[in-house]
Amino acid sequence: MRRLVFLSFAVSIFTACGTASSSKNEKEDEKLSVVEVSEARINAGKEVYQTYCFACHMQDGGGVPNLNPPLIKSPWVNGDKETLIKIVLNGSAGGQYEVDGELFYSAMTPHNFLSDQQIADVLTFVRNNFENKASAVTAEEVLKIRNALKQE
Protein backbone atom coordinates (compact mmCIF):
# COMPACT_ATOMS: atom_id res chain seq x y z
CA MET A 1 0.00 0.00 0.00
CA ARG A 2 2.79 2.34 0.96
CA ARG A 3 4.40 1.55 -2.39
CA LEU A 4 1.23 2.45 -4.22
CA VAL A 5 1.01 5.75 -2.39
CA PHE A 6 4.60 6.45 -3.30
CA LEU A 7 3.95 5.50 -6.91
CA SER A 8 0.90 7.66 -7.25
CA PHE A 9 2.92 10.48 -5.69
CA ALA A 10 5.62 9.91 -8.29
CA VAL A 11 3.00 9.82 -11.00
CA SER A 12 1.45 13.07 -9.80
CA ILE A 13 4.86 14.75 -9.86
CA PHE A 14 5.28 13.48 -13.39
CA THR A 15 1.90 14.85 -14.36
CA ALA A 16 2.59 18.13 -12.63
CA CYS A 17 5.87 18.52 -14.47
CA GLY A 18 3.93 18.18 -17.68
CA THR A 19 4.62 16.19 -20.78
CA ALA A 20 6.63 18.88 -22.51
CA SER A 21 9.87 17.25 -21.40
CA SER A 22 9.28 14.08 -23.40
CA SER A 23 12.40 14.05 -25.58
CA LYS A 24 15.35 14.39 -23.24
CA ASN A 25 18.60 12.51 -23.04
CA GLU A 26 18.77 8.76 -22.38
CA LYS A 27 19.04 9.11 -18.65
CA GLU A 28 15.85 11.11 -18.59
CA ASP A 29 14.10 8.50 -20.75
CA GLU A 30 15.04 5.82 -18.27
CA LYS A 31 13.56 7.92 -15.50
CA LEU A 32 10.43 8.56 -17.51
CA SER A 33 9.76 4.90 -18.14
CA VAL A 34 10.03 4.26 -14.40
CA VAL A 35 7.61 7.02 -13.66
CA GLU A 36 5.17 5.74 -16.27
CA VAL A 37 4.12 3.09 -13.75
CA SER A 38 0.60 4.24 -13.04
CA GLU A 39 -1.68 3.09 -10.28
CA ALA A 40 -4.29 2.06 -12.82
CA ARG A 41 -1.84 -0.19 -14.66
CA ILE A 42 -0.58 -1.61 -11.37
CA ASN A 43 -4.11 -2.45 -10.30
CA ALA A 44 -4.93 -4.02 -13.65
CA GLY A 45 -1.70 -6.00 -13.45
CA LYS A 46 -2.49 -7.15 -9.94
CA GLU A 47 -5.80 -8.52 -11.16
CA VAL A 48 -4.04 -10.50 -13.89
CA TYR A 49 -1.55 -11.76 -11.31
CA GLN A 50 -4.34 -12.91 -8.99
CA THR A 51 -5.98 -14.81 -11.81
CA TYR A 52 -3.10 -16.47 -13.63
CA CYS A 53 0.11 -16.27 -11.62
CA PHE A 54 -0.30 -16.49 -7.88
CA ALA A 55 -1.20 -20.21 -7.73
CA CYS A 56 2.40 -21.07 -8.68
CA HIS A 57 4.41 -17.95 -7.84
CA MET A 58 2.41 -17.47 -4.62
CA GLN A 59 0.63 -14.48 -3.13
CA ASP A 60 3.87 -12.91 -1.92
CA GLY A 61 5.85 -13.73 -5.08
CA GLY A 62 7.99 -16.11 -3.05
CA GLY A 63 7.53 -19.11 -5.35
CA VAL A 64 7.97 -22.71 -4.21
CA PRO A 65 11.41 -24.11 -3.39
CA ASN A 66 12.68 -26.54 -6.02
CA LEU A 67 9.58 -26.04 -8.23
CA ASN A 68 8.44 -22.51 -9.05
CA PRO A 69 10.91 -19.62 -9.03
CA PRO A 70 10.42 -16.66 -6.71
CA LEU A 71 9.74 -13.24 -8.25
CA ILE A 72 11.02 -11.37 -5.20
CA LYS A 73 14.20 -9.48 -6.12
CA SER A 74 14.51 -11.73 -9.15
CA PRO A 75 17.18 -10.79 -11.70
CA TRP A 76 14.85 -12.08 -14.43
CA VAL A 77 11.98 -9.86 -13.28
CA ASN A 78 14.14 -6.76 -12.92
CA GLY A 79 16.25 -7.49 -15.97
CA ASP A 80 15.84 -7.30 -19.71
CA LYS A 81 12.19 -6.84 -20.72
CA GLU A 82 12.48 -8.90 -23.88
CA THR A 83 13.53 -12.03 -21.97
CA LEU A 84 10.79 -11.49 -19.45
CA ILE A 85 8.07 -10.99 -22.06
CA LYS A 86 9.26 -14.16 -23.85
CA ILE A 87 9.00 -16.18 -20.64
CA VAL A 88 5.37 -15.12 -20.25
CA LEU A 89 4.49 -15.76 -23.90
CA ASN A 90 6.34 -19.08 -24.30
CA GLY A 91 6.33 -20.41 -20.76
CA SER A 92 9.31 -22.47 -19.67
CA ALA A 93 10.27 -26.10 -19.66
CA GLY A 94 11.51 -25.68 -16.11
CA GLY A 95 15.04 -25.85 -14.73
CA GLN A 96 16.14 -22.85 -16.84
CA TYR A 97 16.09 -19.77 -14.67
CA GLU A 98 18.44 -19.65 -11.71
CA VAL A 99 17.59 -17.37 -8.82
CA ASP A 100 19.95 -16.96 -5.87
CA GLY A 101 21.92 -20.08 -6.79
CA GLU A 102 18.90 -22.35 -7.10
CA LEU A 103 17.03 -23.91 -10.00
CA PHE A 104 13.28 -24.50 -10.22
CA TYR A 105 12.12 -27.56 -12.09
CA SER A 106 8.39 -27.14 -12.79
CA ALA A 107 7.25 -26.21 -16.27
CA MET A 108 5.48 -22.89 -16.80
CA THR A 109 2.40 -22.70 -18.99
CA PRO A 110 2.74 -20.46 -22.06
CA HIS A 111 0.57 -17.42 -21.38
CA ASN A 112 0.24 -16.27 -24.98
CA PHE A 113 -3.55 -16.32 -24.55
CA LEU A 114 -3.29 -13.12 -22.49
CA SER A 115 -3.66 -9.83 -24.39
CA ASP A 116 -0.69 -7.53 -24.96
CA GLN A 117 -2.16 -5.12 -22.44
CA GLN A 118 -2.68 -7.86 -19.81
CA ILE A 119 0.93 -9.02 -20.17
CA ALA A 120 2.19 -5.43 -20.03
CA ASP A 121 0.13 -4.79 -16.92
CA VAL A 122 1.09 -7.92 -15.04
CA LEU A 123 4.77 -7.42 -15.78
CA THR A 124 4.54 -3.80 -14.72
CA PHE A 125 2.90 -4.97 -11.50
CA VAL A 126 5.52 -7.63 -10.86
CA ARG A 127 8.41 -5.30 -11.69
CA ASN A 128 7.12 -2.81 -9.13
CA ASN A 129 6.12 -5.21 -6.40
CA PHE A 130 7.74 -8.01 -4.39
CA GLU A 131 10.71 -5.76 -3.58
CA ASN A 132 11.38 -5.19 -7.29
CA LYS A 133 11.94 -1.82 -8.93
CA ALA A 134 12.06 -1.66 -12.70
CA SER A 135 10.51 0.23 -15.57
CA ALA A 136 7.00 -0.37 -16.85
CA VAL A 137 6.25 -2.68 -19.75
CA THR A 138 3.97 -1.41 -22.53
CA ALA A 139 1.51 -3.26 -24.72
CA GLU A 140 3.52 -2.12 -27.75
CA GLU A 141 6.63 -3.80 -26.39
CA VAL A 142 4.71 -7.03 -25.87
CA LEU A 143 3.22 -6.89 -29.37
CA LYS A 144 6.65 -6.36 -30.90
CA ILE A 145 8.02 -9.48 -29.24
CA ARG A 146 4.90 -11.50 -29.94
CA ASN A 147 5.29 -10.68 -33.64
CA ALA A 148 9.01 -11.42 -33.58
CA LEU A 149 8.32 -14.85 -32.04
CA LYS A 150 5.84 -15.61 -34.82
CA GLN A 151 8.61 -14.98 -37.36
CA GLU A 152 10.94 -17.47 -35.65
Q: Quick one: which of 26, 101, 147, 151 contacts another protein (CB under 8 A)? A: 101
Nearest CA to 116 among 78, 146, 151? 146
Q: Quick one: which of 48, 68, 71, 120 contacts another protein (CB under 8 A)? A: 68
**Amino acid identity, residue 48?**
V
Q: Quick one: which of 13, 93, 148, 149 contacts another protein (CB under 8 A)? A: 93
Our CB check for another protein shows the closer of 38 and 106 to be 106
Q: What is the 3-state secondary structure (H, E, C) of the chain?
A: CHHHHHHHHHHHHHHHHCCCCCCCCHHHHHHHHHHCCCHHHHHHHHHHHHHHHHHHHCCCCCCECCCECCCCCCHHHHCCHHHHHHHHHHCECCCCCCECCECCCCCECCCCCCCHHHHHHHHHHHHCCCCCCCCCCCHHHHHHHHHHHHHC
Q: Which stretch binds another protein (CB under 8 A): 38-46, 106-114, 120-128, 144-152?
A: 106-114
Q: Widest CA span of the chain, in angstroms?
A: 49
Q: Quick one: which of 64, 79, 82, 140 contacts another protein (CB under 8 A)? A: 64
Could you say whether residue 55 binds another protein (CB under 8 A)?
yes
Our CB check for another protein shows the closer of 68 and 74 to be 68
Our CB check for another protein shows the closer of 17 and 107 to be 107
Could you say whether residue 109 binds another protein (CB under 8 A)?
yes
Our CB check for another protein shows the closer of 5 and 55 to be 55
Could you say whether residue 63 binds another protein (CB under 8 A)?
yes
Residues in contact with another protein by the rule CB under 8 A: 54-56, 58-60, 62-68, 70, 91, 93-96, 101-102, 105-110, 113
